[in-house]
Structure 1
Amino acid sequence: MLSALQERLGSLVGRPSGYIDSLPTSVKRRMNALLNLQDKHTGLEAEFQAELLALEKKFHAKYQPLYDQRSAIIAGSVEPTDAECERKPEEDEEDEDKEKATPPTPAKTVEDGKDIAGIPEFWLTALRNNAQLAEMITEKDEEVLKKLTDIKLTYLEDNPGFTLTFHFAPNDYFTDSVLTKTYYLESSPESGYGDVLYDRAEGSPIHWKEGKDLSVKIEIKKQRHKSSNKTRTVKKTVPAETFFSFFSPPTAPEDDDDDADEEDLEELEQRLEMDYEIGEMIKEKIIPRAVDWFTGKALEFEEDEFDEELYSGDDDDEDEDDDEDEGDEDAAEEEGGEAPANSTDKPPECKQQ
């Protein structure tokens, strides 16, 4: 679906320069040989993706017993043994120094929490500790997500896609005990470099209880009649921001819809990509390391990744270079000449199709 949408946005991409067409016949002949090699590479990439998916499924089956135990402990249906709860302290000298300097605050004992089953609000806390998901969760959503008992992953049999299953305890907002979101993917050499591409997503309908639909809100407006000057109250139902819009994914327009605006199509493409990114993040990050998101430990990994991506260079050297460039520009302006060209200006790009 995304590939079809991108074709319709093709007019936004730069036009071919004509360089390839201008090549001599002998060069084009060699280029065809390279293209044939690339086709073989694409076939191997498709084979790689198929084996990678099979490996993911194999290890997911091995993970599943651990997920089942985790779910039982969170729900309170199973109480872990003392041996299962025993954990070695983390080897962190800084934390050890802090513990020596400041005595820890006494925590509630097991006896104090005998009336508490499992780990309350586990999944709400885990989701809320993720920055992207936290933006999706409203204050009203939290009341429902407190009843979220588990998130499970299953792979599709006849498709490289997957399904996310959200399990809920009885709540005041909807009658469903399970909500699902399925992502359908494509994996074929023709779909693009042997890679797996996003096709579409489908969410299960939510059966809201009367007056509890979080996906809409009621706007009340007063209207005045022009001739009689009487007023009336009009109620209008409009969409509302909610985490549960996740189960109503955006859809691409029909292929025969030629009246769609390019800006609207571009916005839709961004929404589709964001929807898939969120599903992939829940699959790859939240489900496997839910306890790290619950405790906040996963944020350390996210910060480390952020630092590596954005602060891999030497900021001091860059600042010095910037100061030197500014000095050169100021000197040139004082002499009445033009400022020298920026040393970071890139050479003209090579012509390409």
Structure 2
Amino acid sequence: MSNDKDNFNMGDLSAALNDEDRAGLVNALKNKLQSLTGQHSELLENLSPTSQHDELEAKFFEERAALEAKYQKLYQPLYTKRFEIVNGVAEFETKNEAAMDQEGEKAAEEKGVPDFWLVAMKNNEVLAEEITERDEGALKYLKDIKWHRIEDPKGFKLEFFFDSNPYFKNYVLTKTYHMIDEDEPILEKAIGTEIEWYPGKCLTQKLLKKKPKKGSKNSKPITKTEDCESFFNFFSPPQVPEDDEDIDEDTAEELQNQMEQDYDIGRKVERDKLGMVSRVSGLQNASSNEV
């Protein structure tokens, strides 16, 4: 004989309860679930205090910007002194007597440090890949590189100062980077100077001549210009079309890679100016010690 208690189930319980009792039971279960959910929410909030983190991060970025501005001012006298020495505006002292004698002999011939920035850039592994043999003639006229932070819009600006030269009319070539989020950083766009090349001196294009086909009425060689590799392409950065629908997936990926490479070069120039100079100084010191 079976036990009545063993046959008791939820259906029997539901039948035994009136409507009011069932409603009370349901509400009690709901309240319990809400209580558990609330406890977990508070726990998650304690584990991830987003607002506090955001406040600290904002303070970090603010203090970092102030620190960068402070040291940029402290660096400026060093940059000025470097410019004066490199361009022969001021002389530098040396304790090496042999080097002093050698420098004295050369003083009448030339002032400053010839080809300083060309050598500095070629000693930077990233920039060296961008410089072609044809570029070197123009880069010998480079006399200074400056960096500026810009605030509206956020980003930074590079300025390349050149002496008068037979390649282009510009005395200053600039490259400006506009950032969506400078701290991440996310690049919005880059803007470069349009270089005013003298006739036949453009380094970003080369002239190709082809013989006319046999039997052609025109016997003159066919000439056309073609884009070529050059450091000076740096001042003609890739541009994102206003309408993204105009480009397919492969083109978009290629454009993104070009923009990332362009940004990497700009950052390398900005961050490694002193590093480039240090390597040049090291080479010069080594040469002096060999004398």
Aligned match of 1:237: 225
Tell me by how many angstroms 1:222 deviates.
3.9
Distance 1:34 1:211 in 2: 68
1:288 has 2:282 as partner: no
Q: Report sequence identity in percent.
A: 40
Aligned match of 2:15: none
| Conservation of the 8 A alpha-carbon contact between 2:238 and 2:258 | yes
Distance 1:181 1:275 in 2: 10
Taking a change above 3 Å as real, the CA distance of residues 134 and 229 of structure 1, as seen in their structure-2 partners, is same
Aligned match of 1:326: none
Distance 2:95 2:39 in 1: 69
SS at match of 1:170: coil
Q: Which has the larger radius of gyration?
A: 2
Question: How large is the RMSD of aligned CA atoms in angstroms?
Answer: 3.0
Distance 1:25 1:76 in 2: 74
How far does the alpha carbon of each residue in 1:68-115 deviate from its partner, in whole angstroms, 9 at most, with x for none? 0110010001113x4xx349xxxxxxxxxxxxxxxxx98962222122
Question: Normalization by structure 2: what TM-score?
Answer: 0.74
How far does the alpha carbon of each residue in 1:219-273 deviate from its partner, in whole angstroms, 9 at most, with x for none? 2234548xx654653222211111000111111222x332422122112111111
Aligned match of 1:217: 206
Aligned match of 2:144: 150
Aligned match of 2:49: 37
Aligned match of 1:343: none
SS at match of 1:137: coil
Distance 1:57 1:118 in 2: 29
Taking a change above 3 Å as real, the CA distance of residues 65 and 214 of structure 1, as seen in their structure-2 partners, is same
1:121 has 2:112 as partner: no
| Conservation of the 8 A alpha-carbon contact between 2:121 and 2:128 | yes
Aligned match of 1:247: 235
- Structure 1 gaps of 5+ residues are 1-23, 88-104, 189-193, 298-353
Tell me by how many angstroms 1:51 deviates.
2.4
Question: Size of the alignment, in residue pairs?
Answer: 245
Distance 1:29 1:223 in 2: 79
Deviation larger for 201-210 or 48-57: 48-57
- State how 1:153-232 maps to structure 2 within 5 Å: 153-187=147-181, 195-224=184-213, 230=217
SS at match of 2:167: coil
1:275 has 2:270 as partner: no
Aligned match of 2:65: 53
- What amino acid is aligned across from residue 109 of structure 1 in structure 2? Q
Tell me by how many angstroms 1:288 deviates.
2.5
The answer to which structure has the higher helix fraction is 2
Tell me by how many angstroms 1:155 deviates.
1.4
- State how 1:66-77 maps to structure 2 within 5 Å: 66-77=78-89
Question: Normalization by structure 1: what TM-score?
Answer: 0.62
Tell me by how many angstroms 1:60 deviates.
0.3
Tell me by how many angstroms 1:279 deviates.
0.8
Taking a change above 3 Å as real, the CA distance of residues 283 and 187 of structure 1, as seen in their structure-2 partners, is same
SS at match of 1:288: helix
Aligned match of 1:315: none
- Structure 2 gaps of 5+ residues are 1-35, 284-291
- What amino acid is aligned across from residue 59 of structure 1 in structure 2? Y
| Conservation of the 8 A alpha-carbon contact between 2:86 and 2:114 | yes
